[in-house]
Structure 1
């Protein structure tokens, strides 16, 4: 019997270990401590953004270089994660007329959150990689007990092709956005080279200040510079108007065409399969330097190319002049560019309660072009053009404010309906995050890879990129009924980057010869 079949029999039958002894614990709904019995005084309100992601969960698969040392792992989790506000809180209705929930502290029992699943030994021995993948997929069909803090560590303590052991961390999206969780991860890890210190921080992005900041040139710059500044504001305003109109049109009537990437209703809960593949960060940087663009431009271009390869192979369409435009929801962090470094320092100095947790996200609707190009670099050039255009717009600010205003005026149910309608009218969710730039240890265990993804959005395909040291993981969360060949789609990402890198190498060689 497979892991999912075993888990479906009961809400969650798990084997946990406490003080070195094995025990069987039942973690079904209602098994946790009552909300009123252990909750402290009402805390801060749950943010509007957090309330809109009530069905969204983040799943981070972490590969470890050593077997799991349970006492060390428990001590590390207890000392780190369990002491941060969100990880020791539950959501409780505050009794007000509008029923706004608040974060309320509660007691945390690690045995409720550290889970050793019972897997079929024969299935694990036959294909450990598939056993891990199947188990992580089964999590998308299992609810979490809302009487406890909504986080879990699932320990899969057997070797795979990539790691000696694997942990799957499941966290409710209301705990925070990707930047919040990356902050927490960085604060909970230590440098593998020197466990006495924090890992080296990712470099600060080149962007500084608010997205809308357009500093006025000094008088000494002349009339031409002043005219260019005024024109940039006019362009910014025009692009914002166009993007806001597209936003409302998407909510009301504008739908992406039906392609094999578009979600298909199966009449039942759609189980998500999470798969990942390592790409070379050096290859991505080579393309970035050759085309004078950003890492994000390259990754968007690689995604264009991969989806195009997959589409034309699956459909058998030989029309090389054909181009299909679908759209992606691209999540954008609205926190200050220095927030990661500042928050990690605050946590390290014991001021974690002062950190602004939660979701601080806006999004943009990013066109994705599916077509065939003789020159692989055309995918990246097109991506750069579109991303640069989106940077000259306040769409991300507007979408963040719109979500809060809609929730405040129309209430949670109406806001959720509008939010899900907008997502269902697009095709893909896309995100890209920078991770640790050196190898780290998590709770005393060296980390081999970090692969974040999630489930909940009403889309058949979610694409996440996460860098770690000198690799980038492409992580796909797919409707497994719609994408039974998800590993072939991963192959398309690998092959697309290879072709784009080879083309960029020739461009770089020609430039050097010139």
Structure 2
């Protein structure tokens, strides 16, 4: 495919380069020598949960590599996690951050592209899939960026950020990237995240009955968590992975839909955006499984299908303007818990019932301490029995459920990242012990569904994307 003639438009602002360099530098002021990894970060190095985050960002123009590198250099200088090795102490199994001098050229990869590609979209898919076959060498900080200057369906240039999950979770990494962004309408201003004013997981206790409900929901959730860790597995379906699947390569595909369609459904049904997105995913999975089984009766049976749903445990998702881990806006790194969320994959005469049931399920999870308990339990087991036991516990839970799922708030305004205008953001991960992971992220007037699959289990992820998109259409049409 020939390159698009759109010229590179570099946006300069007073926040660029020198201004950003003047921000508080935690490498020089706050870290005195080596520091240990947090228990959660250490956990992500254990077999079965050795996870990498991949973020595909489409740009509206081709990418100026030198300008991009200059921003990446500031990024690694501003946050020591991007300029430190993670060194293992073989005697006691602990790991520490060890600051080093970083050559940015070892972290920004610009492959030479064939100007006559048959399909740039397939090339990008193949490229990201090949990344999932490898790990970043421990001899350098565990992140890199790949720049593909080729026109695709949704963008004119692609950059692929890859981070080891020990560096941070989705919210902290989104926070970091946006701290180096500006609004396209006013590059001097930081962008805002959709719904950034409060934590996605809020517990409101209004009466003794409410308190009893929270306690009961929490107890039930913990019992199910422990049973799942020991023996309770999801029903074997065409999307359930096999043991050892965490080490297989992944195929990443995405589909962009209208955010207004989701918000109009939210308003009409008096639910949340996350309720609508979850309902759409459940309806899409029903359609997909119905087609894979070629039998309505099998899908209609009461099958056990659950998702590991990840929650941000911070008090807010507000963007930290320093891009470091010392801001009053919240801790950096990994501050997440997860819940086991039942998916109702059955025929519904009224497609709006998928959204209603998603809301009911989410309300039960919000009226519980489950995400806080799973986070606390992982840390407690590390303290009492060591990281390997905690890693095995989490691996057992995640491998016994069917999929991973999360929904991230994205910028409400069009943004300029590293000097380039952004067309879309699509995050995902690999290394998890499930054959399927679905991530949704909002950006201005769009929502991107990013799907990560093991191709031997799910050889047709684009069909699943079609089913999710069609489900949104059917749900929205039902409200007319």
Segments of 5+ residues of structure 2 without an aligned counterpart are 1-30
Query: Is 111-120 or 294-303 further displaced after alignment?
Result: 111-120
Q: Secondary structure at the match of 2:343?
A: strand
CA deviation after TM superposition for structure 1 residue 145, in Å = 1.1
CA distance 1:398–1:237, change in 2 (3 Å): same
Match in the other structure for 2:186: 194
In 1, Cα distance between the equivalents of 2:399 and 2:389? 15
Match in the other structure for 1:13: none
In 2, Cα distance between the equivalents of 1:155 and 1:143? 18
Q: Is the CA contact (8 Å cut-off) linking 1:87 and 1:150 kept in structure 2?
A: yes
In 1, Cα distance between the equivalents of 2:241 and 2:159? 29
Match in the other structure for 1:443: 418
TM-superposition CA deviations, 1:7-60 (whole Å, max 9, x none): xxxxxxxxxxxxxxxxxxxxxxxxxxxxxxxxx964332111111112100000
Looking at both structures, which has the greater relative contact order when contacts are Cα pairs under 8 Å and sequence separation is at least 6? 2
In 1, Cα distance between the equivalents of 2:52 and 2:451? 14
Aligned partner of 1:383 among 344, 354, 358: 358
CA deviation after TM superposition for structure 1 residue 352, in Å = 6.4
CA deviation after TM superposition for structure 1 residue 197, in Å = 2.4
In 2, Cα distance between the equivalents of 1:352 and 1:392? 29
CA distance 1:269–1:362, change in 2 (3 Å): closer
Aligned pairs (5 A) from 1:184-223: 184-205=176-197, 211-212=202-203, 214=205
Aligned pairs (5 A) from 1:469-488: 469-488=444-463
Match in the other structure for 1:60: 55
Match in the other structure for 1:332: 311
Q: Is the CA contact (8 Å cut-off) linking 2:262 and 2:273 kept in structure 1?
A: yes
Aligned partner of 1:401 among 376, 379, 392: 376
When normalised by structure 1's length, the TM-score is 0.82
In 2, Cα distance between the equivalents of 1:242 and 1:353? 34
Matching of residue 279 in structure 1 with residue 257 in structure 2: yes
RMSD (Å) for aligned C-alpha atoms: 2.2
Match in the other structure for 1:220: none
Match in the other structure for 1:345: 321
Match in the other structure for 2:21: none
Aligned pairs (5 A) from 1:260-275: 260-265=238-243, 269-275=247-253
Matching of residue 106 in structure 1 with residue 100 in structure 2: yes
Match in the other structure for 1:50: 41
CA deviation after TM superposition for structure 1 residue 236, in Å = 1.2
CA deviation after TM superposition for structure 1 residue 358, in Å = 1.2
In 2, Cα distance between the equivalents of 1:99 and 1:270? 26
Match in the other structure for 2:287: 309
CA deviation after TM superposition for structure 1 residue 206, in Å = 5.6
CA deviation after TM superposition for structure 1 residue 467, in Å = 0.4
Q: Is the CA contact (8 Å cut-off) linking 2:83 and 2:101 kept in structure 1?
A: yes
Aligned partner of 1:412 among 384, 387, 404: 387
CA deviation after TM superposition for structure 1 residue 474, in Å = 0.3
Match in the other structure for 1:152: 144
In 1, Cα distance between the equivalents of 2:203 and 2:244? 43
CA deviation after TM superposition for structure 1 residue 318, in Å = 2.7
Match in the other structure for 1:369: 344
In 2, Cα distance between the equivalents of 1:266 and 1:248? 21
CA distance 1:354–1:293, change in 2 (3 Å): closer
Matching of residue 85 in structure 1 with residue 80 in structure 2: yes
Q: Is the CA contact (8 Å cut-off) linking 1:332 and 1:361 kept in structure 2?
A: yes
CA deviation after TM superposition for structure 1 residue 401, in Å = 0.4
TM-superposition CA deviations, 1:409-433 (whole Å, max 9, x none): 2212222111111101100100001
Q: Is the CA contact (8 Å cut-off) linking 1:52 and 1:419 kept in structure 2?
A: no
Match in the other structure for 2:224: 246
In 2, Cα distance between the equivalents of 1:50 and 1:489? 32
When normalised by structure 2's length, the TM-score is 0.88
TM-superposition CA deviations, 1:83-129 (whole Å, max 9, x none): 2121111112368x63321112111101100001245555xx20110
Q: Secondary structure at the match of 1:196?
A: coil
In 2, Cα distance between the equivalents of 1:193 and 1:42? 41
Larger radius of gyration: 1
Segments of 5+ residues of structure 1 without an aligned counterpart are 1-39, 216-228, 507-514
Match in the other structure for 1:32: none
CA deviation after TM superposition for structure 1 residue 443, in Å = 1.0
Match in the other structure for 1:177: 169
